Amino acid sequence: MIKIGIIIGSTRPGRKAEEVARWVHGIASKRNDAEFELVDIEAFNLPVFDEPLPPAMGNYKHEHTNAWAAEIERFDGYVFVTPEYNHSTSGALKNAIDYLYREWNDKAAGFVSYGSAGGTRAVEHLRQIAGELKMADVQAQVSLSLFHDFENFSVLKPDPKQEASVNNMLGQVITWSQALKSLRQ
């Protein structure tokens, strides 16, 4: 069975990422074509990148890096839940991604973003990062507007059409995760 990690991409106090990720997970759990698991970068307490060697070498020295690598390695694909901060993704998510290399390779990536412009600029940056890490980013994405999908800019109340968007994106992530599996074996 394909395993997809839904990555909570913010550590900021008052973050919306966890609520959004749990909503995505709730939709995903109704499916029977893959297993889905939440992955909270906050739980790994990753400092600003502190490994002495580049991640592409795969020679991690710190326990926090080894724990993060073991967690990410388990999955066949990912859904990154990202806020848009200053026209990009969160620094915490970028840092967490930058810790690893091989663990991301030949896996699929989908995106759920939120912000005043739906988080689309954050996803634009994440797509470039995914390409460099040999991840196949899928075409479908979910963009949640703070104006239309949140009540008072704080409580998640997504438009009902967003569930179809989530399922479309998940379907693409699962298909690509299956297709890329032979490259990882």
* 105-141 confidence digits (pLDDT tens): 999 999 999 999 999 999 999 999 999 999 999 999 9
| First and final C-alpha spacing in the chain | 15
- The predicted-structure confidence for 29-75, as pLDDT tens digits, reads as follows 999 999 999 999 999 999 999 999 999 999 999 999 999 999 999 99
Enter the tokens of residue 51: 């490994």
pLDDT at 185: 84
Three-state SS at 103: coil
In contact, 26 and 38? CB cutoff 8 Å: no
- CATH code linked to domain 3-184: 3.40.50.360
Closest CA to 140 of 163, 167, 107: 167
CA distance 36 to 8: 13
pTM, full prediction = 0.97
